[in-house]
Chain A
Amino acid sequence: MELAIPAVLVLALSGALSLRFKYIGFAGALVASAMMVVNNPLLLMIFAVVLLNLASLDLMKGFLRGVDYTLVGLIFVATSYAFYSQSLAFLLTMFVVASVPTYMLVMASDREIRMEVGIKYITFMVIATILFLIGAILMVHASATSSPTLYFLGYTMLLVGLAIEVGAGPFHEWVPDVFDSADPIPISVVASIAKFVPFVVAFKVISSTQMGGDTLILLTGIVAVVSMFIGNIGALTSNKPARILAYSTVANMGYLLAALSVSFKSEFIYLAFAGVMLQLLTNSFGKIGFFVGIKEDAMPKIETYVLALSFIGIPPLMGFWGKLYILASLVYANLLWVAFFLVINSAMSVPYYVRLIRIFEDKKDFRRLAGYLVTVTAVLMLITIVPPNWIIESSRILMKYLTIGGV
């Protein structure tokens, strides 16, 4: 983590130079990311996500070319740092740092700047960020002063902020529009690498304060279940792949929020955390693969199947293990009703993922880079044929960094 400052410097420099030659930005982002990588399997996987993001940007043309690498690199630096930071101030900063670059990215496209999308997105992100930051601070304050009422309020704000930020229902309104009208590649960034930090920060804040009672668990559970249902039901009749994926994101965020409710039971946090991280990885790889496919309007066939089935949660693909650990943590925390709704939802998701397969069936006309990218995501989904002990190990290691200092 000592290299964070140099990494940011590298990014800044390369970002500036990338205006001359875009691959300098790419190299800079690579170097900076490599500097931030820790020898932790989870971080390595996230590194893989960022590499895929960086590579996929090459499918873009247009005004941000070059700098976009830097922005993605920046998100990764913030993500990596957030995992290890134990200071509230830094964590909240990272939250903002990981979020802001996406404001610019969503406006990028091959031809023009998509202002309208940008405005929609930014409006919601601002609301989210404010709520999240205030909520986090209130929670910390409330736990220091032992004020449950305040804590309730703070937690709710944090939860709602998080929900808006990542696009969980019923605060998902921006998601389908943005996913549909922005360029697919930047959206793949928004839907993948940018999702880690909010959850990491939320986990850390909650587990460090720990004043929650059953009411808050109930609240989280309700938001989670509502989000799952909105996502899955919304996707049922959607026909455009981008919209299907938007609702799929909403549903996925529901699963993740469900795991968040476990964070009040400290002995099972590691399991919930592992589940959330694995599910985020699944979501990232899957979204990258599919958005690349949308960009090209074509995908390699077998890979499409693997990605869709992984989203459905078919073992031994990665999507299964993410859900499994989330489910396990819910069962352990005795939140059976949430677990029940989760599995019902995961069964409901089958039809639209199959529709996704059908949409891409027999469309083979894609650029070679796009093909490789999709293949890599599919292969990554398959690495969990051996049960992923690594994610549990990582999670246990990262538990040490969960407590925020001075709280």
Chain B
Amino acid sequence: MIYAVFIPAIAIVLAPFIRGRAAAYFSALTFLVSFLAILYAFVMKLEYAVDLFTAFEPIGRIYLLGDTISHAFGFTIALVSAMVALYSYPYMKHRFEEMELNADAEFKKYWFLYNLYAASMLWLVYAGNLILLYVFLEISLIASFLLIYYYGYGNRIWVGLLYFVWTNIAGVLALIGFLMIGFDNQTLALDSIASVSMAAWLFIFVGMIVKLPGLGPHVWLPWAHAEAPTPVSALLSPLTVGLAAYILLRIYLIDSSFIEAYRTEIFLYGVITSVVAGFAVFKQKDHKKLLAYSTVSQMGYILIAFTLGTAGIVGVIIQYISHAFGKSILFMSAGAIIAIYHGLRDLEKMSGMHEQIPTIANAALIGFMNLSGILAIGMIGEFFILKGLVDTFGLSLDAILLVVFVFIISGLYSFYTMKRIYYGRVRDYSRVKVNRLLDTPLYIIGAISILFILPPLATWFVDAVVTFLGGV
């Protein structure tokens, strides 16, 4: 069953040779099959450890690791990748026309890189060795870098480099931490690591803060996520940055000493990150930059949740999923406007867009509902985060006020943005027929995100995660 995660490899190889729309369907199909298989494994609580190779110290046993955490991240990645693959076709066609490139030739490159990028993220969460994990991290970085470098907006080469440098710093800092773990444990195989020293934790944590990103290093993210071609943004922002959380989570599950030692500091850092980014959202004039800042704000949730004990960890996992669903919908909605109105992304030129593109507006609403935790899986995530808060800090008024404030801000900027873009005076844009591939994928993700609060999905999901973590 675990080999199902390698099905997208077929798409990496074959999709470039398929012409037109079929390539999109084919790529999406491979990811969907993976999604279903992973979901099955998740529900059945199947666990795997498949040996691949044994390298000398400090690397140790390299194997594929499939457990509830991997599955939870895995099916999110597979689903979003599948939907964005479908969406890619009309969008990139528009982009190639805009760049005056030969669509057939460029699609070859695009499908190879896209599928490689998405699949490497999927494989990352199944890597049982920190080096293998790092390998996939860097592959996903390269593939996404090249996509920005070739098809991005604005000064795409500069933005691509900026993205590359920042995330490379993030990766290599974590690598030092990994090697320190290797020194202490003589191996980097996840199941054989017994302890993680504080220094190793520090390197990994700092590295992942750059990638996540936390306040300070976060300045790279708005550039990269805003100027990437939108399907890439729709993977970068929902899936890639959150993988930092996955890595931290893996380390945390081995040894949580660092987070416990600096609980208050990290908690406050998460709060400040989220608040600063949340307020920054209000000031943005570029649609995609706005969404990028909201990503930073949401990643602040994850930092907060890390400090909140076991319930917080459940919160981290669900927050990743809910943000992935919500943000992929939102980036795709932003991209749909770009594709339909030839590069329209300036918020000051938008209002009342619901008039022209109601289906996109409604999809965006579902996206924002995910972000603010209304009637979607994010609700359960927020519930666990809040429970963890009380578990950890008791009914302390300051901690409560901070977290509640953070959550309120997300809701506020979500609906403020809805109002800015889709409500109010109707502008003079023509009504167009929206390509089905530009809106249907959004609704599929949206439907699943809502189904996740209801049985049976919610029952399975919470049961699997809670069982894996040994109760909350």
List the interface of chain A (C-beta within 8 A of B). 309, 312-316, 320, 324, 327-328, 331-332, 336, 339-340, 343-344, 346-348, 350-351, 354, 358, 386-387, 389, 392-393
When distances are taken between beta carbons in the complex, the residues of chain A under 8 Å from B161 are 350-351, 354
When distances are taken between beta carbons in the complex, the residues of chain A under 8 Å from B160 are 354
Q: Verify B142–A346 contact, CB threshold 8 A.
A: no
A229 to chain B, nearest CB (A): 15
Interface 1/0s, chain B 154-197, versus A by CB < 8 A? 00010011001100110011011001101100000000000000
Q: Verify A343–B175 contact, CB threshold 8 A.
A: yes
Q: Known contacts A347-B169, A386-B53: does B176 contact A339 (CB below 8 Å)?
A: yes
Contact of B142 among A314, A358, A389 (CB under 8 A): A314
When distances are taken between beta carbons in the complex, the residues of chain B under 8 Å from A392 are 56-57
A221 to chain B, nearest CB (A): 15
Q: Verify A327–B176 contact, CB threshold 8 A.
A: yes
Contact of B62 among A315, A350, A387 (CB under 8 A): A387
Q: Known contacts A344-B169, A389-B55: does B142 contact A309 (CB below 8 Å)?
A: yes
B330 to chain A, nearest CB (A): 29
B265 to chain A, nearest CB (A): 21
Cα separation A328 to B149 with both chains bound (whole Å): 32
When distances are taken between beta carbons in the complex, the residues of chain B under 8 Å from A314 are 138-139, 141-142
B164 to chain A, nearest CB (A): 5
Q: Verify B56–A354 contact, CB threshold 8 A.
A: no
B385 to chain A, nearest CB (A): 33
Q: Verify A327–B142 contact, CB threshold 8 A.
A: no
Contact of B58 among A328, A336, A340, A347 (CB under 8 A): A328
Cα separation A389 to B57 with both chains bound (whole Å): 9
B196 to chain A, nearest CB (A): 14
Is B131 located at the chain interface by the 8 A CB criterion? yes
Q: Give the most central of A316, A348, A392: most B CB within 10 Å.
A: A316
Q: Known contacts A315-B135, A343-B172, A347-B172: does B165 contact A327 (CB below 8 Å)?
A: no
Q: Verify B169–A343 contact, CB threshold 8 A.
A: yes
When distances are taken between beta carbons in the complex, the residues of chain A under 8 Å from B138 are 314-315, 320
Q: Known contacts A314-B138, A343-B169, A387-B53: does B176 contact A354 (CB below 8 Å)?
A: no
Cα separation A340 to B138 with both chains bound (whole Å): 18
Cα separation A254 to B179 with both chains bound (whole Å): 20
Cα separation A347 to B167 with both chains bound (whole Å): 9
Q: Known contacts A328-B179, A331-B183, A386-B53: does B172 contact A350 (CB below 8 Å)?
A: no
A274 to chain B, nearest CB (A): 9
* CB-CB nearest in chain B for A325: B58
Contact of A336 among B55, B142, B176 (CB under 8 A): B176
Is B48 located at the chain interface by the 8 A CB criterion? no
Q: Verify B179–A327 contact, CB threshold 8 A.
A: yes
List the interface of chain B (C-beta within 8 A of A). 53, 55-59, 62, 131, 134-135, 138-139, 141-142, 149, 157, 160-161, 164-165, 168-169, 172-173, 175-176, 179-180, 182-183, 199
A345 to chain B, nearest CB (A): 10
* CB-CB nearest in chain B for A309: B142
Cα separation A235 to B57 with both chains bound (whole Å): 34
Q: Verify B165–A350 contact, CB threshold 8 A.
A: yes
Q: Could you jot down 27 A-B contacts, CB within 8 Å?
A: A314-B141, A314-B142, A315-B131, A315-B135, A327-B176, A328-B182, A331-B180, A331-B183, A336-B176, A339-B176, A343-B169, A343-B175, A343-B176, A344-B169, A347-B169, A347-B172, A348-B165, A350-B164, A354-B160, A354-B164, A387-B53, A387-B55, A387-B62, A387-B131, A389-B55, A389-B56, A392-B57
Q: Verify B135–A316 contact, CB threshold 8 A.
A: yes
B167 to chain A, nearest CB (A): 9
A313 to chain B, nearest CB (A): 8
Q: Verify B172–A346 contact, CB threshold 8 A.
A: yes
A407 to chain B, nearest CB (A): 29
* CB-CB nearest in chain B for A395: B56
When distances are taken between beta carbons in the complex, the residues of chain A under 8 Å from B59 are 387
* CB-CB nearest in chain A for B149: A354
Cα separation A320 to B135 with both chains bound (whole Å): 9
When distances are taken between beta carbons in the complex, the residues of chain A under 8 Å from B55 are 387, 389
* CB-CB nearest in chain A for B183: A332
* CB-CB nearest in chain A for B172: A343
A163 to chain B, nearest CB (A): 25
When distances are taken between beta carbons in the complex, the residues of chain B under 8 Å from A313 are 172
* CB-CB nearest in chain B for A358: B157
B140 to chain A, nearest CB (A): 11
Q: Verify A346–B62 contact, CB threshold 8 A.
A: no
Q: Verify A324–B168 contact, CB threshold 8 A.
A: no
Ordered nearest first, which 7 A-B pairs have the shortest CB separation? A343-B172, A387-B55, A315-B135, A347-B169, A331-B179, A347-B168, A392-B56
When distances are taken between beta carbons in the complex, the residues of chain A under 8 Å from B176 are 327, 331, 336, 339-340, 343
B420 to chain A, nearest CB (A): 36
When distances are taken between beta carbons in the complex, the residues of chain A under 8 Å from B62 are 387
Cα separation A328 to B53 with both chains bound (whole Å): 20
When distances are taken between beta carbons in the complex, the residues of chain A under 8 Å from B175 are 324, 327, 343
Cα separation A339 to B207 with both chains bound (whole Å): 14
B422 to chain A, nearest CB (A): 39
In the complex, given contacts A344-B169, A350-B168, what are 14 additional A-B residue pairs having Cβ atoms less than 8 angstroms apart? A312-B168, A314-B142, A320-B135, A331-B176, A331-B182, A332-B179, A336-B176, A336-B199, A339-B176, A339-B179, A351-B165, A354-B157, A386-B53, A387-B53
A307 to chain B, nearest CB (A): 14
When distances are taken between beta carbons in the complex, the residues of chain B under 8 Å from A358 are 157
A268 to chain B, nearest CB (A): 9
Cα separation A339 to B173 with both chains bound (whole Å): 9
B304 to chain A, nearest CB (A): 28
When distances are taken between beta carbons in the complex, the residues of chain B under 8 Å from A328 are 58, 179, 182-183
Cα separation A389 to B182 with both chains bound (whole Å): 16
Q: Give the most central of A314, A316, A331, A336: most B CB within 10 Å.
A: A331
Cα separation A312 to B139 with both chains bound (whole Å): 13
* CB-CB nearest in chain A for B129: A387
Cα separation A153 to B183 with both chains bound (whole Å): 33
Cα separation A229 to B30 with both chains bound (whole Å): 45
When distances are taken between beta carbons in the complex, the residues of chain A under 8 Å from B172 are 313, 343-344, 346-347
When distances are taken between beta carbons in the complex, the residues of chain A under 8 Å from B168 are 312, 346-347, 350
